[in-house]
């Protein structure tokens, strides 16, 4: 954790927050913050700044806080992800959140097991927890919007063309000739399931305005592919 996210209801006055629960545990046992020491903090979906540990009792720490900077710029890429195995999804969500993606669309596809949609890892609470981990890693505060689309065809035919109105769209597709290069945001990037989108799905995605390209001979896991693809849009 490189930044502690505080919630609006942590504020007990304009410049003072009270932290308890799991975050308190982290502050005391991992960060080992002492009285008068400062900590990078950010307001959920708001500015970033610092908090100075002002007082401590058994159940809470009080920080005097000042928030003056905006969070780091978002990455203007909409990521369409064929729903991965739930355990893998948890990790991916953290890493793509840390990379600054603010719109993630989880999509059903032929090679996605239907049971994945029942996973407790897709609950609002679990998703929120992973997003916060990603944000706290990257010193960001802006929670991404996660959209779930359990029907491939209606999403791709009706919604995707609207998303692509002012953005270029890319499909990572192993068996294809075009290369990727360094495209500029804003963009929409689609990553298929293990085994890839089936040809019919690629056809529909292309009809909606997406362009297929190859990542080379190596087949990557969804997790590695996501970081590798998003890297090409990152401003460094």
Which residues are near a second copy by CB under 8 A?
Answer: 2, 72, 94-95, 98-100, 137-140, 179-180, 182, 213-221, 223-224, 227-232, 234-236
Closest CB 19 distance from a second copy, rounded Å? 21
| Shortest Å distance, C-beta 14 to a second copy | 27
Q: Please say which residue, 123 or 221, places its beta carbon nearer to a second copy.
A: 221
The three-point CA angle 84-88-89 to 5° equals 60
Residue 115 has a CB neighbour count (10 Å cut-off) of 8
Least separation in angstroms between CB 77 and a second copy? 13
Q: Which is nearer to a second copy, 110 or 180 (CB)?
A: 180
DSSP 15: T
How far apart CA 22 and CA 102 sit, in angstroms, is 25
Give the nearer residue to a second copy in terms of CB position, either 78 or 95. 95
Least distance between a second copy and beta carbon 164 (Å): 22
Whether residue 95 contacts residue 140, with contact meaning beta carbons closer than 8 Å, is answered with: no
3-class secondary-structure state, position 227: helix
Comparison of 159 and 214: residue with beta carbon closer to a second copy:
214
Phi and psi, residue 29, nearest 5°:
-100, -25
CA atoms 234, 177, 222, 78: torsion sign: positive
Q: Please, which residue, 156 or 172, has the CB nearer to a second copy?
A: 172
Nearest approach in angstroms of CB 144 to a second copy is 14
Is the distance from CB of 2 to CB of 137 less than 8 angstroms?
Answer: yes
Least distance in angstroms from the C-beta of 74 to a second copy: 11
> How far is the C-alpha of 221 from the C-alpha of 225, rounded, in Å?
6
Residue with tokens 């046992």: 29
Q: Which is nearer to a second copy, 96 or 163 (CB)?
A: 96
């Amino acid at each position: 954790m490189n930044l502690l996210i505080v919630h609006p209801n942590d504020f007990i006055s304009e410049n003072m927050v009270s932290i308890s629960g799991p975050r308190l545990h982290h502050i005391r046992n991992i960060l080992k913050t002492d009285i008068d020491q400062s900590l990078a903090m950010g307001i959920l979906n708001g500015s970033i700044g610092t908090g100075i540990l002002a007082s401590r009792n058994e159940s809470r720490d009080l920080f005097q806080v000042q928030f003056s900077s905006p969070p780091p710029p978002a990455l203007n890429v909409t990521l369409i992800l064929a729903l991965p195995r739930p355990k893998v999804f948890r990790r991916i969500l953290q890493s793509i959140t840390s990379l600054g993606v603010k719109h993630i669309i989880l999509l059903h596809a032929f090679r996605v097991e239907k049971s994945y949609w029942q996973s407790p890892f897709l609950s609002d609470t679990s998703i929120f927890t992973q997003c916060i981990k990603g944000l706290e890693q990257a010193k960001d505060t802006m929670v991404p919007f996660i959209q779930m689309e359990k029907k491939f065809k209606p999403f791709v035919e009706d919604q995707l063309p609207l998303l692509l109105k002012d953005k270029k769209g890319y499909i990572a597709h192993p068996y294809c000739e075009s290369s990727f290069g360094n495209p500029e945001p804003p963009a929409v990037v689609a990553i298929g399931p293990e085994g890839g989108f089936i040809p019919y799905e690629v056809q529909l995605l292309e009809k909606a305005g997406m362009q297929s390209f190859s990542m080379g001979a190596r087949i990557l896991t969804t997790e590695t592919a996501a970081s590798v693809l998003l890297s090409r849009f990152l401003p460094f």
